[in-house]
Structure 1
Amino acid sequence: MKLGDLFNHIPKLSPVELTALEYEVSRLQDEEVAKEEFVGLSDHTREFLQTNAVLSANATKNRYINILPFDETRVILSSSKKEGSDYINANYIQGYNHTKEYIAAQASTFYGSQNIIRPDPSVMKDAFNPNNSWKNREGAGLPFDFNRVPLSKGSMGNTYINASFVGCLGRTAEYILTQHPLADTSMDFWKMMLERHVNVLVVLGSVEEEDEYWPDSEPLEWYEEDITVTLTDRDEFKNIKASNLEIESDMNESHQALTMFQISNWPSDGTTPNDHFTIIELIENIHEIKTGLVAVHTAAGHEEASGVFAVLCSLIPYISVSSKINVMEAVRRTNQQRPGCITTRDQYEYIYETIIASLSDKKRQ
């Protein structure tokens, strides 16, 4: 059996009728059911060999006896002169458009027992390029090459910024998921907003004053690119700060009005908010005013929050025009376009719970 055949044996992801959504969430309260759906795979692996993993010369390199790489997809090292073995407990994982988009590996004994999944640098060459890597915030996710957002020209004359085009419901990009700008990349960030005609920006979490990259009473100016960002109005409602900004470049004779929403009470530890209705109201407001791409980033570097918000921002309007919804497929698509977007069961269930809250709200109206 070939590796590619594995994916033909995986059950297709089916949409759920909106009328059955509450039942679907109650079904997910079962630990085993939730685990199976979140992982998205049943046990279709028994026909794949693991002969290299159980060789006596390699067995001592395995942390657990039941978590072993398949021969067909294992990562092969150049042979060690000391040990004469090319074995490591790691597998290549198929991604969106690439057969080797991720490496799933066990953690080394020095760092502890948590299994990790890391993107393969071979499909993130721009992010790992030494000329670009200084632009990446420590701990932030990295963009794939195939859907990164290129600048016409940014800092140091290159086109790189840590940002990805993401479409949760299909191939059409609706969002830019990015990192909180560094002090040295804030000009690139505003240039991206200008070049990509972004008129809605969402910041998830509270931001320390020294990390604020937007203007207050005085405009911010970057003479290198002749970019000016000016605050024109500010309001606050239900833990959400709304700022109206104007971005201008006389050099390119371009102008962009942008509304920035900051959800200050979004948790900074990777968990989800207790509130559903404020998020629903904000998403409805966003869809009333957005004219193009919506940019999203977190304040604390947790990529998961951006992914959760983007999926909700796609699905909540969708339930007004469709009788079915496929949360699992939307999550899968989002993770394929920006690594580490939705990684926990809590985040997955929060998406379901918020959609149900939105449905309940519509029934009352």
Structure 2
Amino acid sequence: MSRRDQPLRAFLGAGPSPGQLRQEFQDIKVQAIAFRQQQGFSTEAGARKENIKKNRYKDILPYDQTRVILNLRTDEGQTDYINASFIEGLYRKRCYIATQGPLAHTLLDFWCMIWEYEVKVVAMACREVEMGKKKCERYWPLEQEPLQIGPFSILQLKEQELNPDVIVRTLRVSFQQEERPLTHLQYVAWPDRGIPDNYGHFLEMIEHMRLKQGEDSAPICVHCSAGCGRTGVICTLEHVRHLLLQQSVPPDFSIFNIVLAMRKQRPSAVQTLEQYEFLYQAVAELFRAALAPGAYENLTEEHFGASRAHAGAAPQDERHLCCGDASPRGPPSPCPSTGRGKAPLYSLKPPGLMASPQKKAPSSPRHEYTDSYEDLGSSSCGGYSPITSPTSGLGYNFRIRKPKGPRDPPAEWTRL
């Protein structure tokens, strides 16, 4: 067994039980809240009077310490606020932008963010309307019908199906005589607070994101409706995929640590137990594919060694932060880093990644997840209200029975 394969085989051999995953997920919530309180993380910008209406959900506000700041403002009434958070990746502090689905009156803010941070790929994990409720304003144009948002002109050049669950749109964005390409991927079969029902289709979207991102150092923009649950799942899987391509899966690889680190940067990232369990299964699919014969034949040590030499070694204190250690200097990286700088090409995919495109995600009894949906508490002050001890069955901030917030309670979903 090669040293490179050992973390993958160790993960596949661990096989945590549903009870262990439930406890892990509970511990993530407790530790994320403790980190926020210890480090004094705040949500003051999102709670300001001039910004409060820019939030789709009153209990999902970005941390001031990790929020995306809009320096490019094209309208006199704009502030520097958008409900979006930077999430650190393997080589960059701004690897992902996790954001809510734009509202009708935040479309300009959204496109200012995309342009200012030179976003090349946008991944959308929701529909515009779900279960009769508006979840996201359409911010892209219909085919051959340009969309004008303030000074931004957006044109759709092509729309096609990547697979039955994913739509890929090729857009062209124009601003002040400059044009840029943008790839828009939309997963249309993912229920709010639920999970995809097909590993292969979902992982194919993750692969396509990296293929289109290439070596570009700009952040990948990921959103669902609130920008936390489904968004967190995509960011986590994309990060693990990047670790595989870099052959940088650490010996102590842990989904727990990755999700916990993301929660320290974006509130409620990976929002439900069901989503957390799906992550384990999806990562297992990735690792099994990577262990298939010949999976790494194109990923030569020479290729990656050159990349790491170019990037340089990460400071030891930053690698320590990756493991969840609280530090006053800011949130940890989702996973141990081997350096900073541009990553190599991402089109080098292990054979077998799409080997089981029809494999379905397991469906668990719905009653197990009815109450596994978090309430982050009062948004006006960004506070949290623990309602029971960390060792009890409910833990912190569980909603009891039917949620009272703007989102619908989990229900049996049918493909729209």
TM above 0.5, yes or no, is yes
**How far apart are residue 179 of structure 1 and its match?**
0.7
Identity %: 26
Q: Give the secondary-structure state (helix, strand or coil) at the position aligned to 2:226.
A: coil
CA distance in 2, matches of 1:323, 1:310: 16
Query: Structure with the greater relative contact order (CA < 8 A, sep ≥ 6): 1 or 2?
Result: 2
Q: Give the secondary-structure state (helix, strand or coil) at the position aligned to 1:311.
A: helix
Alignment of 1:1-365 (within 5 A): 17-24=7-14, 26-29=15-18, 31=19, 33-40=20-27, 93-95=33-35, 98-101=38-41, 123-138=42-57, 141-152=60-71, 153=73, 156-168=77-89, 172-208=93-129, 211-216=137-142, 217-223=144-150, 226-238=151-163, 239-250=165-176, 253-268=177-192, 270-290=193-213, 291=216, 292-298=218-224, 300-301=225-226, 303-320=228-245, 321-324=247-250, 325-362=253-290, 363=292, 365=351
Distance 1:171 1:326, change over 3 A: farther
Number of matched pairs = 272
**Aligned letter for 1:267?**
P
Checking the alignment, whether the CA contact within 8 Å between 2:90 and 2:243 is kept in structure 1 is: no
1:82 paired residue number: none
Per-residue CA distance 1:310-336 (angstroms, 9 max, x = gap):
001101231240354221111011111
Q: Any unmatched runs of 5+ in structure 1?
A: 1-15, 45-91, 102-122
**4+ residue runs over 4 A deviation:** 168-171
Q: Any unmatched runs of 5+ in structure 2?
A: 1-5, 294-350, 352-416
Q: Give the secondary-structure state (helix, strand or coil) at the position aligned to 1:134.
A: helix
**How far apart are residue 199 of structure 1 and its match?**
0.6
State which structure, 1 or 2, has the greater radius of gyration over its C-alpha atoms. 1
CA distance in 1, matches of 2:185, 2:201: 12
Checking the alignment, whether the CA contact within 8 Å between 2:107 and 2:149 is kept in structure 1 is: no
TM-score (norm 2): 0.60
Checking the alignment, whether the CA contact within 8 Å between 1:220 and 1:229 is kept in structure 2 is: yes
**How far apart are residue 348 of structure 1 and its match?**
1.5
Q: Give the secondary-structure state (helix, strand or coil) at the position aligned to 1:202.
A: strand
Per-residue CA distance 1:251-276 (angstroms, 9 max, x = gap):
xx4432110000000112x0111211
**Aligned letter for 1:34?**
L
CA distance in 1, matches of 2:264, 2:101: 21
CA distance in 2, matches of 1:175, 1:198: 10
CA distance in 1, matches of 2:37, 2:179: 35
TM-score (norm 1): 0.68
CA distance in 1, matches of 2:249, 2:92: 21
Checking the alignment, whether the CA contact within 8 Å between 1:214 and 1:229 is kept in structure 2 is: yes
Per-residue CA distance 1:294-325 (angstroms, 9 max, x = gap):
11111x43621000110011012312403542
